[in-house]
């Protein structure tokens, strides 16, 4: 079987799988961003208890493997009466795991906003919420975008693990095609190239564009 | 509903601890490959041979932007298609070592680039050989800034070893899965695996910080 015949026969399945991978990526990225913001800011809170909660979450999810967390959410949570569909369990695990890494990015970026900015907002008697939203976060966002570029590539790669709980993503399709045809180099090679194109030629340029746009909007370019 | 059984925990703990040994061995062996191969990849990008530099650069980018679990499958299944049979351990070590060598090469690259240009010029003016320049002057100075990154990836490789279970390497996750399906109980094995990971990765992260401080002091930066 030539490679073009292989693609003609299985191209549709690679496409279906890619769509699932994109869906998992978008949902888990959205979740990771929300969690990162929430716990990243919580880690900077004045209350020791609030900081403790954030630290516990971050260390718990960064200290164990994503695969362990995924299996735990999918196989153990049902024992506590919380049964999740595989698709939901998949993006929840990926989003919660990468969100913990993102929280550190948020915390670092918020803390590197110069102190004068905080003081200026205070001098204008802005409320803490307004100061965070209008003054600090926009500047922190520009600082942390390069870090998010890397993190989102890690997140894309991490979605491949959801195939292990049988979400029919790109990785899953590659495995299925491999086990029916034994054409391993074609099956896995094609999937590798698709992931590569997605990361290098879609995600990376998008993040670069976002970095430039945000820097311009904040007047730093 | 909280059906946690301590007797079951004590029954399976020895098996899990034995498997932890395998996990640590896999992480150690994979890291050793990554540390050495990473240096090769970093130095290859500094040769004056443009095509070589370009190929290695693209290779590193490719490895870093594709999933490790897919690479593990690739290495394990592609061999037999060409008549080379790799056992799960060998395939797993090649895949995980290769994956992390790409990351470590970036750490080394950063370290090497942080050495001031004057150091190179000083070596040239003392007519040191390339080998001497690297071994005696450049690498000792490139090392301290690299230690933090190297340490992070050591913990990273440890946390990625569960992926080796997909091709049947009998590490922690694989063993927990086997126990779970033998006894139809997943609560204890999976929870214990999580706890074992925490118990190892949190202290090691702390130890690595201490080691970092020690290296910096040793080389005379602090």
* Nearest chain A residue to B59, by CA: A196
Which positions in chain B touch A199 (Cβ < 8 Å)?
Answer: 65-66
Which positions in chain B touch A164 (Cβ < 8 Å)?
Answer: 69, 166
Do A63 and B197 make contact, defined as CB atoms within 8 angstroms? yes
Q: Would you place residue A221 in the very low, low, confident or very high pLDDT band (cuts 50, 70, 90)? A: low
Q: Pick from A66, A71, A178: which is nearest to B77 by CB?
A: A178
CA distance B187 to chain A (A): 5
Residues 6+ apart with CB under 8 A from B59: B41, B102
How long a stretch of residues is chain B? 222
User: Would you say the pTM of this structure is higher than 0.80?
Assistant: yes
Do A72 and B191 make contact, defined as CB atoms within 8 angstroms? yes
Residues 6+ apart with CB under 8 A from A62: A100, A101, A104
A70 or B148, higher pLDDT: A70
Q: Pick from A76, A174, A196: which is nearest to B191 by CB?
A: A76
d(CA A22, CA A24): 5
Residue B218: predicted pLDDT: 80
Do B74 and A189 make contact, defined as CB atoms within 8 angstroms? yes
CA distance A192 to chain B (A): 6
| Res. A218: pLDDT tops 90 | no
Which positions in chain A touch B187 (Cβ < 8 Å)?
Answer: 76, 79
CA-to-CA separations, B31 to A217, B97, B160, B164, in angstroms, rounded: 43, 6, 11, 14
CA-to-CA separations, A31 to A145, A168, A192, B97, in angstroms, rounded: 17, 20, 25, 31
User: How high is the ipTM of this complex?
Assistant: 0.91
- The overall average pLDDT reported for chain A is 94
Q: Walk along chain B (222 residues) and give the pLDDT tens digit of each residue.
A: 468 899 999 999 999 999 999 999 999 999 999 999 999 999 999 889 999 999 999 999 999 999 999 999 999 999 888 888 899 999 999 999 999 999 999 999 999 999 999 999 999 999 999 999 999 999 888 888 899 899 999 999 999 999 999 999 999 999 999 999 999 899 999 999 999 999 999 999 899 989 988 888 887 765
What is the rounded average pLDDT of the residues A80-99?
A: 95
Residues of A with CB under 8 A from a CB of B: 59-60, 63-69, 71-72, 75-76, 79-81, 153, 156-161, 163-164, 171, 174-175, 178, 182-185, 188-189, 191-192, 195-196, 199-200
- pLDDT tens figures, A10-26: 999 999 999 999 999 99
CA-to-CA separations, A64 to A147, A153, B9, in angstroms, rounded: 21, 20, 19
Which positions in chain A touch B62 (Cβ < 8 Å)?
Answer: 192, 196
d(CA B32, CA B104): 11
Contact status, residue B153 vs residue B34, Cβ threshold 8 Å: yes
Q: Which of A8, A46, A33 is nearest to A106 (CA)?
A: A33
- pLDDT tens figures, A121-150: 999 999 999 999 999 999 999 999 999 999
Q: Is B43 left (phi over 0), alpha (psi -120 to 50) or beta?
A: alpha
Residue B140: predicted pLDDT: 85
- pLDDT tens figures, B159-196: 999 999 999 999 999 999 999 999 989 999 999 999 99
DSSP state of A47: S
């Amino acid at each position: 079987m030539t490679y073009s015949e292989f693609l003609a026969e299985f191209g549709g399945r690679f496409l279906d799988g890619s769509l699932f991978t994109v869906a998992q990526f978008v949902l888990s990225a959205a979740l990771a961003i929300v969690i990162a913001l929430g716990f990243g800011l919580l880690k900077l809170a004045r209350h020791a208890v609030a900081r403790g909660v954030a630290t516990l979450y971050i260390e718990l999810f960064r200290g164990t493997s994503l695969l362990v967390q995924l299996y735990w959410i999918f196989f153990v949570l049902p024992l506590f009466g919380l049964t999740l569909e595989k698709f939901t369990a998949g993006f929840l695990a990926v989003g919660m795991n990468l969100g913990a890494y993102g929280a550190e990015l948020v915390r670092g970026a918020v803390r590197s906003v110069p102190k004068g900015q905080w003081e200026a907002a205070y001098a204008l008697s802005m409320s803490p919420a307004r100061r965070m939203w209008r003054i600090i976060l926009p500047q922190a966002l520009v600082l942390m975008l390069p870090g998010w570029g890397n993190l989102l590539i890690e997140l894309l790669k991490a979605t491949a693990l959801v195939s292990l709980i049988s979400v029919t993503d790109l990785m899953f399709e590659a495995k299925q095609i491999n086990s029916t045809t034994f054409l391993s180099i074609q099956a896995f090679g094609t999937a590798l190239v698709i992931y590569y194109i997605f990361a290098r030629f879609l995600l990376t340029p998008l993040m670069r564009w976002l970095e430039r746009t945000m820097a311009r909007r904040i007047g730093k370019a | 509903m909280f059906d946690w059984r301590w007797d079951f925990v004590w029954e399976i703990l020895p098996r899990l601890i034995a498997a932890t040994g395998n996990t640590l061995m896999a992480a150690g062996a994979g890291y050793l490959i990554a540390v050495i191969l990473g240096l090769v990849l970093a130095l290859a990008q500094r040769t004056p041979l443009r095509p070589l530099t370009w190929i290695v650069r693209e290779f590193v980018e490719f490895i870093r932007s594709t999933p490790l679990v897919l690479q593990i499958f690739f290495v394990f299944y592609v061999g037999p298609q060409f008549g080379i049979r790799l056992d799960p351990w060998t395939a797993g070590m090649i895949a995980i070592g290769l994956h992390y060598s790409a990351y470590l090469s970036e750490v080394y690259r950063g370290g090497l680039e942080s050495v001031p240009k004057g150091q190179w010029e000083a070596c040239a003016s003392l007519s040191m050989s390339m080998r001497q320049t690297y071994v005696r002057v450049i690498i000792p100075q490139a090392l301290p800034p690299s230690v933090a990154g190297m340490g992070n990836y050591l913990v990273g490789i440890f946390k990625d070893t569960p992926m080796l279970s997909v091709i049947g390497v009998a590490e922690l996750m694989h063993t927990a899965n086997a126990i779970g399906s033998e006894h139809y109980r997943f609560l204890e094995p999976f929870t214990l695996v999580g706890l074992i990971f925490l118990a190892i990765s949190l202290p090691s992260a702390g130890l690595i910080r201490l080691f970092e401080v020690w290296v910096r002091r040793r080389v005379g930066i602090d």
